[in-house]
Structure 1
Amino acid sequence: MDTFLFTSESVTEGHPDKLCDQVSDAILDACLEQDPDSIVDCETCTKANLVTVIGEITTKAKVDYGKIIRDTCRGIGYSSTELGLDADHCEVLVNIDQQSPELAEIVHGNFTKKPEEIGAGDQGHMFGYATDETPELMPLSHLLANKLAAKLTEVRKNGTCPWLRPDGKTEVIVEYQKEGGAVVPIRVHTILVSTQHDEAVSNEQLSRVLNKHVIQPVVPSKYLDDKTVLHFNSLRGPHEDAGLTGRKIIVDTYGGWGAHGGGAFSGKDPSKVHGSGAYIARQAAKSVVASGLARRCIVQVSYAIGIPEPLSVFVDTYGTGRMADREILQLIKKNFDFRPGMIAMNLDLKRGGNFRYQKTAAYGHFGRDDPDFTWEAIKILKAK
Structure 2
Amino acid sequence: MSDFIFTSESVTEGHPDKICDQISDAVLDALLTEDPESRVACETVVNTGLCLLTGEITSKAKVDYIKLVRNVIKEIGYEGYRAGGFDANSCAVLVALDEQSPDISQGVNEADDVNDDLEDNTGAGDQGIMFGYACDETPELMPLPISLAHRLAIQLAKVRHENVLNYLLPDGKTQVSIDYEKGLPVSINTILISTQHNPEIDGLTNEEEIRQKIKEDLWKHVVIPATQDLEIKPNIIKTRFLVNPTGKFVVGGPQGDAGLTGRKIIVDTYGGYARHGGGAFSGKDPTKVDRSAAYAARYVAKSIVKAKLAKKAEVQLSYAIGVAKPISILVETFDTGVISQANLTELIKKYFDLRPAAIIKEFDLRNLPKKRGGKFFRKTASYGHFGRRDLDLPWEKVEEKAAQLAEASKVFL
In the alignment, does 2:293 pair up with 1:268? no
Task: Write the letter of the residue equivalent to 1:104.
Answer: S
Q: Which residue of 2 aligns with 1:170?
A: 174
In the alignment, does 2:351 pair up with 1:335? yes
Q: State which of 227, 230, 253 in structure 1 corresponds to 2:241.
A: 230
CA distance in 2, matches of 1:367, 1:115: 30
- The DSSP-based 3-state class of the residue aligned with 1:86 is coil
Q: State which of 350, 357, 380 in structure 2 corresponds to 1:360.
A: 380
CA distance in 2, matches of 1:146, 1:5: 18
Q: Which residue of 1 aligns with 2:361?
A: 345
CA distance in 2, matches of 1:293, 1:109: 36
Task: Write the letter of the residue equivalent to 1:106.
Answer: G
- The DSSP-based 3-state class of the residue aligned with 2:40 is strand
- The DSSP-based 3-state class of the residue aligned with 1:286 is helix
Aligned identity (percent) is 51
Q: Which residue of 2 aligns with 1:198?
A: 198
Cα deviation for residue 371 of structure 1 reads 5.6
Q: Which residue of 1 aligns with 2:89?
A: 88
Cα deviation for residue 309 of structure 1 reads 0.6
Q: Which residue of 2 aligns with 1:305?
A: 321
- The DSSP-based 3-state class of the residue aligned with 1:85 is coil
Check the 8 A contact 1:128/1:298 in 2, yes or no.
Answer: yes
- The DSSP-based 3-state class of the residue aligned with 2:299 is helix
How many equivalent residue pairs? 378
Q: Which residue of 2 aligns with 1:106?
A: 107
CA distance in 2, matches of 1:155, 1:332: 43
Check the 8 A contact 1:129/1:254 in 2, yes or no.
Answer: yes
CA RMSD of aligned residues (A): 1.5
Check the 8 A contact 2:188/2:232 in 1, yes or no.
Answer: no
Check the 8 A contact 1:186/1:223 in 2, yes or no.
Answer: no
Superposed CA deviations along residues 20-49 of structure 1, whole A, max 9, x for unmatched, are: 000000000000001110000000010011
CA distance in 1, matches of 2:14, 2:119: 37
- The DSSP-based 3-state class of the residue aligned with 1:223 is coil
Of 309-318 and 225-234, deviating more is 225-234
Cα deviation for residue 2 of structure 1 reads 4.3
Cα deviation for residue 239 of structure 1 reads 1.4
TM-score normalised by length of structure 1: 0.96
CA distance in 1, matches of 2:28, 2:158: 25
Superposed CA deviations along residues 44-79 of structure 1, whole A, max 9, x for unmatched, are: 010011000101000011111111100000000011
In the alignment, does 2:395 pair up with 1:375? yes
TM-score normalised by length of structure 2: 0.89
Q: Which runs of structure 1 show a deviation greater than 6 angstroms over 4 or more consecutive aligned residues? A: none
Cα deviation for residue 224 of structure 1 reads 2.1
Alignment of 1:1-384 (within 5 A): 2-80=2-80, 82-109=83-110, 114-178=118-182, 183-201=183-201, 202-219=210-227, 220=230, 222-225=232-235, 226-233=237-244, 234-235=248-249, 236-351=252-367, 352-353=369-370, 354=373, 355-370=375-390, 372-378=392-398, 379-380=401-402, 381-382=405-406, 383=409, 384=411
Comparing both structures, which one devotes a greater share of its residues to strand?
A: 1
In the superposition, relative to structure 1, how do residues 61 and 229 fare at CA in structure 2: closer, same or farther (>3 Å)? same
Cα deviation for residue 333 of structure 1 reads 1.3
Q: Unaligned stretches of 5+ in structure 2?
A: 112-116, 202-209
